[in-house]
Chain A
Amino acid sequence: MDPVAGIGLRSPHLAEIARDRPATGFLEIHAENYLAHSPALGTVELLRRDYEFSVHAVGLSLGSVDGLDDAHLDRVAALVDRLQPTLVSEHLSWSVAGGRYFNDLLPLPYTEEALQVVARNVDRLQDRLGRQVLVENPSCYLAFAYSTLCEPEFLAELARRTGCGLLLDANNIVVTAHNLRLDPGAWLRDLPASAIGEYHLAGHAVNDADGEPILIDDHGSRVGEGVWTLFERIVRRYGPRPTLVEWDTDLPPLDVLLDESSRAARSLRSETKADARAA
């Protein structure tokens, strides 16, 4: 896919997008919202004829020590087979333990043990789908005392061992860096540029924890200026990639989402031009 900007496709916008076919680089769906045979799946299949698609899974639980759930993996594979999306992605997190699903992207300790678990699950996912998947850096609210790797090191090593790609979420980097007292610039060092296949942008909320601000990745507002600044830095450093604007809570009118993705497209284009001049 060209390094274009797209939007997350959410069901309240589905009818409007199907009717008006607005110009946008690509559409990204959450896999778990389209695994049952609702009328919405039929609409998405029609849209697939006119748009590039990305399938973003949120429930495969790549960090589960119990491995991937066969039934869920089969359903995601069937959707990917049906839609033939350009990109497929999941998160560096876990959400299933003991047969219960927590509907949250839960944090992993960044250890060799966890790396082996995630690598095994990513291998299995890529084998089952017969294609590369991108793994996204999560928003973190806590860190484990016995982590031996930092998050970018963990992701880089995961990409090296499994051949997976990486999805860099600029908002998640800002959220994680703030909450874990890290330097977002330092976070960006040493990622394998060739593995990076997509960027995400979203808004976050500022909540209170023990009287201190904690950033929450709620996808409920416009992309913050700090996130735009970091995004531009990422694009300068690693080059333009397909970029998605996500919005999940307090969904705005579609035009607002398209406006945000236009801004992302301008950043990507200005860097593409800068590249051309340098060459």
Chain B
Amino acid sequence: MLALRDLQAAFAAQLGGEDRPDLAEAVVGDSITAAARLRVHRHHVAESLATALAATYSTVQAIVGEDFFRIMARELAAADLPRQPVLAEYGEAFPAFVAGYGPAASLPYLADMARLDWALNLAFHAPWHSRLSVSDLADLPPEGLLASRVSLAAGSTLVRSAYPIDRIWHASRPGTATGRVSLDEGGVAVIVLRRADDAAFATLSPAEAAFVEALDDGKTLEEGAQAAFATEPAFDLSTSVARLLALQAFAALQQDC
């Protein structure tokens, strides 16, 4: 008889793909053998985690198809089981796994689509706090405005890619007429956002991306603007700030003590 601790360790190893005769011996077999009974659990663990990954990585699945996706997802699940039971928080390792996944090598943008899916998933599950508004900024004296630092709202993330991930995302939505997206269109930066009822992203110009990146690094609005001008001399600070405020990309100002 196995102590419960040893039984659970053996069961865990069996679920991870090991052959555990000590466990099979502890299980009652009849016309359905102990091994077949244990396989029910191994199968369920792999399939249910693949289903959870499909929910989080819906764009990746739309691109590669369900059969291909499930093979890939089961492989990740076998190598990287969840560390906690909230499945919406499972799968952070998937984009890196996709990047190194040989059978998907002909789709060089696939890992970036996985990064976008993960960022959208994080945004969807981020708390909804109050956002920075135009009037918050209007209350600041002009010199204070340029010296202030603003934070991205919870769930807001900048995702950069060498591929047109925004257009690929739209082209892979269900019901979208198959549009052709040329990878020659080049890279893009998007900001992912938690909105009141869902998560979404907006494409940024290179200067806007430099601006957001600087602010996210803790730089002041002035330093952010300098980064943006360095990227694109025609950068229009007030138009871009107005756009980002309308997107509700920033958290409300923290009152400094």
Spell out A's residues near B (CB within 8 Å).
32-33, 35-39, 42, 58-61, 64-65, 69, 71-72, 75, 94-104, 106, 108-109, 111, 113-114, 117, 141-146, 179-181, 207, 209-210, 212, 214, 216
CB of B28 closer than 8 Å to a CB of A? yes
Given A98-B9, A103-B49, A104-B48; A142-B37 close (CB under 8 Å)? yes
A32–B52 CA distance with the chains assembled, in angstroms: 13
Interface positions, chain B 65-87, Cβ under 8 Å from A, are 81-87
A38 contacts across to B, CB distance below 8 A: 88, 124-125
Give the chain B neighbours of A108 by CB distance below 8 A: 4
Asked if B3 lies at the interface with its beta carbon under 8 angstroms from chain A, I say yes
Chain B, range 10-61, C-beta contacts under 8 Å to A = 11-12, 15, 25-28, 30-34, 36-41, 44-45, 48-49, 52
Q: Are A106 and B41 in contact (CB under 8 A)?
A: yes
Contacting residue for A65 out of B5, B15, B87, CB 8 A: B5
Q: Identify the B interface with A (CB < 8 A).
A: 1, 3-5, 7-9, 11-12, 15, 25-28, 30-34, 36-41, 44-45, 48-49, 52, 81-89, 124-128, 196-198
Are A145 and B4 also in contact (CB < 8 A) when A36-B89, A216-B40 are? no
Known pairs A106-B8, A141-B41, A179-B37; list 8 more (Cβ under 8 Å).
A32-B86, A36-B89, A101-B81, A102-B15, A102-B45, A103-B48, A142-B27, A209-B39
* Contact between chains at B32 and A212 (CB < 8 Å): yes
Tell me whether B84 and A71 are in contact (CB under 8 A). Answer: yes
- CA gap between A163 and B26 in the complex, in Å: 31
Whether A103 contacts B88 in the complex (CB less than 8 A), given A37-B128, A64-B8, A181-B30, comes out as no
Nearest-CB distance from B66 to chain A (Å)?
Answer: 14
25 contacts across the A-B interface (CB closer than 8 A)? A36-B86, A37-B128, A38-B124, A39-B124, A61-B85, A72-B85, A95-B85, A100-B12, A101-B84, A102-B45, A103-B45, A103-B82, A104-B41, A111-B4, A113-B4, A114-B4, A142-B28, A145-B27, A209-B32, A209-B39, A210-B32, A210-B33, A214-B32, A214-B37, A216-B40
Instruction: Kindly list chain B residues whose C-beta atoms are within 8 Å of the C-beta of A61.
Output: 85
Q: Which residues of A contact B44 (CB under 8 A)?
A: 104
> Which of A37, A109, A180, A216 has the most chain B CB atoms closer than 10 A to its own CB?
A37
User: Does A143 contact B11, Cβ atoms closer than 8 Å?
Assistant: no
- Residues in A with CB closer than 8 Å to B82 are 100-101, 103
Q: Tell me whether A32 and B37 are in contact (CB under 8 A).
A: no
The 6 closest A-B pairs by CB, nearest first: A59-B85, A36-B125, A142-B37, A37-B127, A97-B12, A101-B82
Q: How far is the CA of A32 from the CA of B89 in the complex (A)?
A: 10
Contacts of B5 in A (CB 8 A): 65
Decide: A103 and B4 in contact? CB cutoff 8 A.
no
Question: Which listed residue (B3, B81, B84, B196) contacts A72, Cβ 8 A?
Answer: B84
Please state if B83 and A101 are interface contacts (CB–CB under 8 Å).
Answer: yes
Report the minimum CB–CB distance from B61 to chain A (whole Å). 16
B164 CB to nearest chain A CB (Å): 28
Which chain A residue lies CB-closest to B48?
A103
Alpha-carbon distance between A99 and B48 when the two chains are bound, in angstroms:
18
A32 to B86, CA, bound (A): 5
B136 to A: closest C-beta gap in Å? 22
Residues of B within 8 A of A117 (CB): 4
A114-B3 Cα distance, complex, nearest whole Å:
9
Of B4, B12, B126, chain A has the most CB atoms within 10 Å of the CB of B4
Which chain B residue shows the least CB distance to A117?
Answer: B4
How near does chain B come to A14, taking the closest CB pair, in angstroms?
A: 11
Q: Contact between B84 and A214 (Cβ–Cβ < 8 Å)?
A: no
Known pairs A36-B88, A97-B8, A101-B85; A210 contacts B40 (CB<8 A): no
Is A97 a contact of B11 with CB atoms below 8 Å? Answer: yes
Set of chain A residues within 8 Å of B52, measured between Cβ atoms: 103
The chain A residue with its CB closest to the CB of B27 is A142
Contacts A37-B126, A97-B8, A113-B3 given; does A210 touch B36 at CB 8 Å: yes
Cβ–Cβ contact B4 & A102, under 8 A: no
